[in-house]
Structure 1
Amino acid sequence: MIKKEIHKPRMHDIDSAKGLAIVLVVFGHLFSNSHYTDNIQNWYMHVHSAIYHFHMPFFMYLSGFVTFFSGHNTMDHRYGRYIKAQSIKLLLPFLLIGVFIVVGKYVVNYYFYIDRVPDTLGEGLLSLVWNTGDSPARFIWYVFVLFVFRAATPLLDTLLKGRVSLILALSLVLFWVTLPPVLFLPRMGTHYFFFILGGVAAIHWERIGRLFDRYCFLFMALFAAICICESLPFSFKEWAFVAGLASVPALHCLMRFPVFSHSRVLNALGNSTYTIYLFNTIFIGLTKLVLSQFLPLEGGGAFAVYTIVLLAAGVCGPLFLRQFVFQRVRILRLFS
């Protein structure tokens, strides 16, 4: 059950960290389909590869931190209401946007090249929740997985009598288990550890915060070294574990520097993370479609233009929607 939420002072370093994380997410989505493989510059491929090893583990760490910090990790008589609220907040947008993406890709593919188009409309809709490894809208997997984590964690907390260390141990085992590509199970397996790690950090923040501050530069140096060595022959899962684990103290303590924790830009992005996550690829895709009609993606100059314009579209487009549409239309506030 969910205990009564305790009102705690807002942690601006968490807001800034969320802002940084969502920019990394958007950057990773800029050229994520195979159609542009031959035109992607080497520098982007290396940066993209490094980012993809840690950006979602770090993002999930922040999600776990916020969930536990808000007191939503334990059970009480209001659990049913909590699940209903989370279903409206997470599952409903997931399904609405998923259906929009599947139908949109299926229709637009008749006129323009679109990546990951389902063979049939029914197959595409089914893949939203079943064969999720082939889902045309798999970029929104985080929303579905976060709902499962928030629903399951209070149950586990009750079953294990509040021993979060046991949940962390179970999540670590789960990380290394190979799960079937249905219901986003592989994503759950490789990210629950980081979600619970964020929860542990929130529970013991007074002590862990001091640890982060004391060894901040050491954590950042270690993380940088790991990112530089990302081309070493290890599996993606192995790199995701090592880089994801190293990113937690490095990026969190970096965001605790006043220049970042008090940054209005990062704080604003952090407060709009959900909207940006849901809609960034839609704006990237539409912008890319328009841009390709005027500027072929050929050479470093064109690639630089694409990178800047698409990044701006992926961040600013959703911000515009949130500010001028979702916040003003009550029924659409679930997207903000």
Structure 2
Amino acid sequence: MNRIVFLDIAKAICIILVVVGHYMPDNSPMWYVMLNKVIYTFHMPLFMFVSGYVYIATKKDISYGSFLMKKVKRLMIPYFTTSVIVITIKLLTQDFMLVEHPVTLLSFFEILYLPVAGYFLWFIWALWWMFVILPFFKTKTSRDVLFLVSILLHFIPLEVTSLFCLEQFRGMLVYFMFGIFAFENRWLYYFIVNFKWSKLVCAVLLFISMEVIYFLNMDENINIVLPFIGIWFIIEASKSISKGWGEVNKNSWLMLVSASSYIIYLFHTTFEGITKAMLHRIPFNSGLWYVFVFESITVVLMGVIIPMILHRWVLKKYKITRILFGL
């Protein structure tokens, strides 16, 4: 249970970072720009790591067809549902409200091979391809080999098409496989699962020092290891939080965020955009730092809270919405 709890906490932290990272107004002060860049050094690799870890930890012996159908229901049907909804909202509002990345009627067709409703939806395509290939690697040895191949695919410069988000799949497979590798190798498994305050301190210090070195020198070699250090940092922080709770509390706000993380990911940019458009109609002086902070907190909160409400009180309530959103 402790393992599950700290992974849920890590997922909750990560989705909050995603929502923050996707809010970057033109008038952002330097400190916010730097915060955004720090988030982008590791947040999606962390999502992939957790996905790979959970996949192998909960892997069941079912047929390939049944497994793939589960992923169609969990990933692709919600992808197309969300894409249609977002494109429709944009078409209805972009003529009189501020809409980033406007769409056309052709966008309804383009979603079959590109995440045109919102670039952030590349994550679903990339995860889909990972689940398509992983069942063919039935042994630990074969998965270790795939991990090595994923490292090569990530670091060797290759020209891969962006259609069906195959480029993102190539770049992110290594973190998904790292999650699998961490679970299947006992020495790394126990390093990740066991919590010690000294490990948290080391993770925090290493993360801060590597981020400082990266942003001072923009050293590409540091950028290679930053995602892995960020993963370790958030995992250790999540274990610290889970240890502090003692008994598992499913109604704590982090666990509620984690439970709604997929719906938050699907809809956060929509509600962020709506909130931002409404705030722009209020005569605030966004050049003032405290006004910017207020706007940022409001936009981010709406990007998290409204999808959570939508998930808990609407989408889970009806059979048709549970089907359309993979619930």
TM-score normalised by length of structure 2: 0.87
Give the corresponding residue for 1:94: 79
Which of 69, 92, 111 aligns to 1:128? It is: 111
Give the corresponding residue for 2:5: 12
Counterpart secondary structure, 2:95? coil
- Answering whether residue 326 of structure 2 is matched by residue 326 of structure 1, we say no
Which of 121, 124, 136 aligns to 1:140? It is: 121
Q: How many angstroms apart in 1 are the aligned matches of 2:302 and 2:261?
A: 15
Amino acid at match of 1:48: N
Give the corresponding residue for 1:30: 23
Give 1:63-102 correspondences, 5 Å limit: 63-71=51-59, 78-102=63-87
Question: Conserved in 2, the CA contact under 8 Å of 1:21 and 1:55?
Answer: yes
Give 1:177-196 correspondences, 5 Å limit: 177-178=157-158, 179-196=160-177
Amino acid at match of 2:226: A
Question: Conserved in 1, the CA contact under 8 Å of 2:17 and 2:43?
Answer: yes
Counterpart secondary structure, 1:298? coil
Distance apart, 1:281 and its partner CA = 1.0
Question: Conserved in 2, the CA contact under 8 Å of 1:21 and 1:58?
Answer: yes
- CA deviations on 1:40-67 (whole Å, 9 max, x unpaired) are 1111100001111110001110111111
- CA deviations on 1:226-249 (whole Å, 9 max, x unpaired) are 2223323345xx665321111122
Which of 134, 138, 146 aligns to 1:167? It is: 146
Amino acid at match of 2:211: C
Give the corresponding residue for 2:210: 226
Which of 304, 314, 317 aligns to 2:306? It is: 317
Give the corresponding residue for 2:181: 200
- CA distance 1:240–1:152, shift in 2 (3 Å): farther
Which of 235, 245, 267 aligns to 2:228? It is: 245
Question: Conserved in 2, the CA contact under 8 Å of 1:25 and 1:55?
Answer: yes
- Answering whether residue 239 of structure 2 is matched by residue 256 of structure 1, we say yes
Distance apart, 1:77 and its partner CA = 5.3
Counterpart secondary structure, 1:180? coil
Q: How many angstroms apart in 2 are the aligned matches of 1:260 and 1:191?
A: 32
Counterpart secondary structure, 1:116? coil
Q: How many angstroms apart in 2 are the aligned matches of 1:58 and 1:240?
A: 15
Question: Conserved in 2, the CA contact under 8 Å of 1:260 and 1:266?
Answer: no
Give the corresponding residue for 1:103: 88
Question: Conserved in 1, the CA contact under 8 Å of 2:6 and 2:235?
Answer: yes
Distance apart, 1:96 and its partner CA = 1.5
- CA distance 1:206–1:14, shift in 2 (3 Å): farther
Which of 252, 261, 281 aligns to 1:293? It is: 281
Unaligned 5+ segments in structure 1 are 1-7
How many residue pairs get aligned? The number is: 313
Give the corresponding residue for 2:263: 275
- Answering whether residue 133 of structure 2 is matched by residue 149 of structure 1, we say no
Q: How many angstroms apart in 2 are the aligned matches of 1:245 and 1:254?
A: 14
Q: How many angstroms apart in 2 are the aligned matches of 1:240 and 1:18?
A: 22
Q: Percent identity?
A: 22
Q: Could you say what the CA RMSD is over the residues aligned between the two structures, in angstroms?
A: 2.4
Greater alpha carbon shift after TM alignment, 307-316 vs 249-258: 249-258
Greater alpha carbon shift after TM alignment, 255-264 vs 323-332: 255-264
Distance apart, 1:85 and its partner CA = 1.4
Q: How many angstroms apart in 1 are the aligned matches of 2:208 and 2:95?
A: 44
Amino acid at match of 1:230: Y
- CA deviations on 1:106-126 (whole Å, 9 max, x unpaired) are 3322112322124x421x334
Unaligned 5+ segments in structure 2 are none
- CA distance 1:205–1:332, shift in 2 (3 Å): farther
Amino acid at match of 1:149: M
- CA deviations on 1:185-232 (whole Å, 9 max, x unpaired) are 221111110001011112235753336645342222111212223323
Counterpart secondary structure, 1:113? coil
Q: How many angstroms apart in 2 are the aligned matches of 1:89 and 1:239?
A: 35
Distance apart, 1:183 and its partner CA = 1.4
- CA deviations on 1:7-44 (whole Å, 9 max, x unpaired) are x886211111111111111111122xxxx32x111111
